[in-house]
């Protein structure tokens, strides 16, 4: 893959601006949740029986894995986030300008990674507040940054599959 600057393509300034917008939306929504939904005694029912706003703090990763909350674990998770952000940022910078969807995908991933990393630095845990459920089934509470990471990961997988499908196979 050629560097954006080496190929004459524009640098990914628009995508970095989009990343900033996603981080801002994530942090503003979490600030609202922090000040409006705490203490987490009773959820705000948005769609009864399906969707609530419920304050939660997750010191671990997705689905509360690795949620010991120890300083060593927080530092480890922050280090992983920093490495992931650097890797995604580098990949974004090196992605040619004609790969607009891939650039947007990487901006989405970067915004989600950085949004949750900010929470770990400021609060020691990630603030979650979107709570979907149906009967006894409950999806783990999440936030906008988690959504960005999920959408970004799905789009990245689809882009990779598309690249594999389009690449020439071995000659017979």
Is 131 known to be catalytic? no
Q: Which of 26, 52, 128, 131 is catalytic?
A: 128
* Polymer length of the chain: 172
Q: Which of 26, 119, 131, 146 is catalytic?
A: 146
Q: At 44, give phi and psi (nearest 5°).
A: -90, 115
Is 146 known to be catalytic? yes
Three-state SS letters, the chain: CCCCCCCCCCCCHHHHHHHHHHHHHHHHHHHHHHHHCCCCCCCEEEECCCEEEEEEEECCCHHHCCCCCCHHHHHHHHHHHHHHHHHHHHHHHHCCCCCHHHHHHHHHHHHHHHHHHHHHHHHCCEEEEEEEEECCEECCCECHHHHHHHHHHHHHHHHHHHHHHHCCCCCC
* Partners of residue 127 on adjacent β-strands: 57
Q: Which of 53, 19, 65 is nearest to 128 (CA)?
A: 53
Q: Looking at the annotation, which residues are catalytic? A: 128, 146
């Amino acid at each position: 893959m050629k560097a954006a600057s080496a190929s004459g393509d524009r640098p990914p300034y628009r995508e970095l601006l989009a990343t900033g917008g996603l981080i801002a939306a994530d942090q503003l929504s979490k600030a609202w949740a922090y000040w409006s939904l705490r203490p987490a005694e009773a959820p705000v029912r948005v769609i009864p029986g399906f969707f609530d706003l419920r304050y939660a703090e997750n010191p671990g990763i997705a689905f509360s894995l690795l949620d010991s909350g120890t300083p060593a674990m927080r530092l480890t998770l922050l280090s992983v986030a920093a490495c992931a952000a650097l890797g995604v940022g580098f990949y974004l910078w090196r992605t040619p300008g004609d790969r607009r969807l891939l650039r947007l995908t990487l901006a989405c991933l970067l915004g989600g990674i950085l949004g949750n990393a900010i929470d770990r630095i400021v609060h020691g845990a990630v603030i979650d507040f979107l709570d979907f459920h149906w009967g006894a089934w409950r999806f783990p509470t999440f936030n906008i940054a988690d959504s960005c990471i999920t959408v970004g990961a799905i789009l990245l997988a689809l882009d990779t599959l598309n690249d594999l499908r389009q690449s020439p196979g071995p000659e017979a």
